[in-house]
A and B are shown apart, each in its own frame.
Chain A
Amino acid sequence: MSHRSGAPRTESRRSFRSSGPSRWSQSRKRGIDGNLRSHSDDDDAAADEGLYGGRQSSFRTPESAGPVSRCARRPDWGSQVEDEEEMRKDVHRDMQRYRRRILGSEPGQRERRASSGSSGSCDSREGETMETDEAVLMRRQKQISYGKNTLAYDRYIKEVPKHLRQPGVHPKTPNKFRKYSRRSWDQQIKLWRVKLHAWDPPAGGSQENSLSDNIEELDLEDMVDIELDFPTLADPQDAPSSSVVEDQDCSATPVKVQKTEDPSVA
């Protein structure tokens, strides 16, 4: 933190402005040089926006306050704790399944690799590099859930069946069990969300109906999610039939595919 010297204290006090500026605030509004910092609050407010506002606004629902996404927390504490408990259970269940999946796929993976001659090399290492930190997994799952609980995602999974999805072309849910840095993960989520926006409903559509549908589908989607997150057998690079599938796919949703490429280029 570059503003170590004065800003944090100012910031902490500002969060309690509702009860009025503290009695001594005048004397503390000095910079390192000792001059009064009359404009400091504005500066700090702007800095805060950058620090906190930016991170929360676009693609994540704030955890404490602010607008609540439609899947998010039920308002009463009793339900919140139940949801939390449920989420922890789910993470553990997913982790078990993922482990089994890795174990199960490993020998087969070898054979396939031997015959095809080229395949991903990362999957066999999956066991050692698996993310097992519960807090991290829950945070990631939350981000994924926010992405999936959108009209765009509903439209996407309806319009593009799983076997037609192309790596690099269609959005692919980031794999929450892989070890990634926080920065890398957040970036993957961001790109995924950007890609999903290509399936946003046309403006002015009848949103009301599909809105209630979504909520009911939530649980199902979570199940789908696990499947998506497992290591894929086909490697992005060696998909020989890609052009064929892509053609089929393009004929199904030409506009979308076009659109998805725009944001990633930009």
Chain B
Amino acid sequence: MENSSEDYRIQSFDVDTQKLLKTALKDPSSVDLEKVSNILVDQSLKDPFFSKEAGRICYTIVQGEAKQNNGTVFRRHLLNRLQQEFKEREETRKRSLQEWVCYVTFICNIFDYLKVNNMPLGALVLPVYDCLMRLAQPDALLNEEEVDCLVQQLHRIGEQLEKVNSQRMDELFFLLRDGFLLQEGLTSMARLLLLEILEFRAGGWMLSSTAHKYYYSEIAD
């Protein structure tokens, strides 16, 4: 595992915290892992970039702790903190859209990185769906920020999610189709994002090369 981006992301903390995190990555059992988990969650909720990277850091610590002493202290605290934030998600969303989007990004990132025997964490499946469903509600579709978050998560973990619970994915896509087709007030960017994700799933979680060209290449003059 290369450390460059982890190191890079850790730069944004103060010196003491940097030291703590570096130790946690190398020798997890020698530090207060509850504290570490709280630092990582707090930062993820504040920093949109960090929330996309934090999964990898968490993965490294979880692996390290398991290797050292078969421990699960960090994972337990991390998940329980995530759960606590999950319960307050509607208030969070009202208070700060950015924090809410960061939360969803973070929990999805954790879902993507942490596995049990190479299988997704069952405990996170329904909560992750709940978050994505929330982003697909009419009021959320009006915020490009939330639409953008929704489709990014689906690009990353949509296929895994569908494998463990396809019924929920069907429900989510009913919402997305309705939103794309019927909702007034969507920006054209939001519609584009929705259309792309609809095509993406319809193609078996892949874009055909022509679709890719349509969505991603510069328009020829």
Q: Footprint of B on A, CB under 8 Å?
A: 8-9, 11-13, 15-16, 19, 22-24, 27-28, 64, 76-82, 84-85, 88, 134
In contact, B117 and A64 (Cβ under 8 angstroms): no
* Interface contacts beyond A77-B124, A81-B122, A88-B117: sample of 10 additional A-B pairs, CB < 8 Å, sorted by A: A8-B174, A15-B171, A22-B178, A77-B80, A77-B123, A78-B72, A79-B76, A84-B116, A84-B123, A85-B116
- When chains A and B are docked, how far (Å) is the Cα of A16 from the Cα of B136? 11
Knowing A23-B138, A24-B183, A88-B117 touch, does A81 contact B79 (C-beta < 8 A)? yes
For the complex, give the distance between the alpha carbons of A80 and B82 in Å: 13
B residues near A15, Cβ cutoff 8 Å? 171
How long is the Cα–Cα vector from A78 to B59 in the complex, in angstroms? 15
Enumerate chain A residues within 8 angstroms of B170, measured Cβ to Cβ.
Answer: 8, 12
Q: Interface digits, B116-136 against A, CB 8 Å rule (1 contact, 0 not)? A: 110101111011000001000
Taking a contact as CB atoms under 8 Å apart, the answer to whether B122 and A80 are in contact is yes
B160 interface residue, CB < 8 Å from A?
Answer: no
With contacts A24-B183, A81-B79 taken as known, whether A13 is within 8 angstroms of B121 at the C-beta atoms is no
The complex places the Cα of A12 from the Cα of B174 at a distance, in Å, of 7
> Residues of A contacting B137 with CB < 8 Å?
16, 19
15 contacts between A and B (CB under 8 A): A12-B170, A13-B174, A15-B171, A16-B133, A22-B178, A23-B184, A24-B178, A77-B121, A77-B127, A80-B79, A80-B123, A84-B121, A84-B122, A88-B119, A134-B119
Contact in complex: A76, B80 (CB < 8 Å): yes
Q: Which of A64, A76, A82, A88 contacts B126 (CB 8 A)?
A: A64
Knowing A12-B175, A13-B174, A13-B178 are in contact, say whether A76-B116 is a contact too (CB < 8 A): no
Q: Which size class do B's interface residues fall under?
A: 20 to 34
What is the CB-to-nearest-CB distance from B129 to chain A, in angstroms, rounded to a whole number? 10
What is the chain B residue whose CB lies nearest that of A85?
B116
A77-B124, A84-B122, A85-B116 given; A24·B182 CB < 8 A: yes
| Contact assessment for B123 and A12 in the assembled complex, using a CB-CB cutoff below 8 Å | no
Mask, B42-86, CB within 8 Å of A = 1, is: 000000000000000000000000000000100111111011000
What 0/1 readout, one digit per residue, does chain B (172-186) give for beta carbons within 8 Å of chain A?
Answer: 001100100011100
Q: How far is the CA of A84 from the CA of B114 in the complex (A)?
A: 13
- Which chain A positions have C-beta within 8 A of B80? 76-78
Contacting residue for B79 out of A19, A22, A76, CB 8 A = A76
A77 and B174 form a contact (CB under 8 A): no
Secondary structure call for the B interface: helix
Q: With a CB–CB cut-off of 8 A, which chain B residues contact A16? A: 133, 137, 175
Q: Knowing A9-B178, A23-B138, A84-B121 touch, does A78 contact B171 (C-beta < 8 A)?
A: no
CB proximity of A82 to chain B, nearest CB, Å: 6
B174's partner among A9, A19, A88 (CB-CB below 8 A) is A9
- Output the least CB separation between A125 and chain B (Å): 28
Distance in angstroms between the alpha carbons of A23 and B80 in the assembled complex: 36
Measured between alpha carbons, how far is A11 from B178 in the docked complex, in Å? 13
Which A residues are CB-close (under 8 A) to B122?
80-81, 84
Least CB separation from A10: chain B residue: B174
**Once bound together, how far apart are the Cα atoms of A78 and B170, in whole Å?**
28
Shortest Cβ distance from residue A48 to the other chain B in the assembled complex, whole angstroms? 12
* CB atoms of A81 and B121 under 8 A apart: yes
Chain B 191-219 interface residues, beta-carbon cutoff 8 Å to A? none
Q: State how many angstroms separate the Cβ of A143 from the closest Cβ of chain B.
A: 16
A82 near B138 with CB under 8 A, answer no
Report the Cα distance A8→B174, complex, angstroms.
8
Report whether B174 and A22 are in contact in the complex, using a CB–CB cutoff of 8 Å. Answer: no
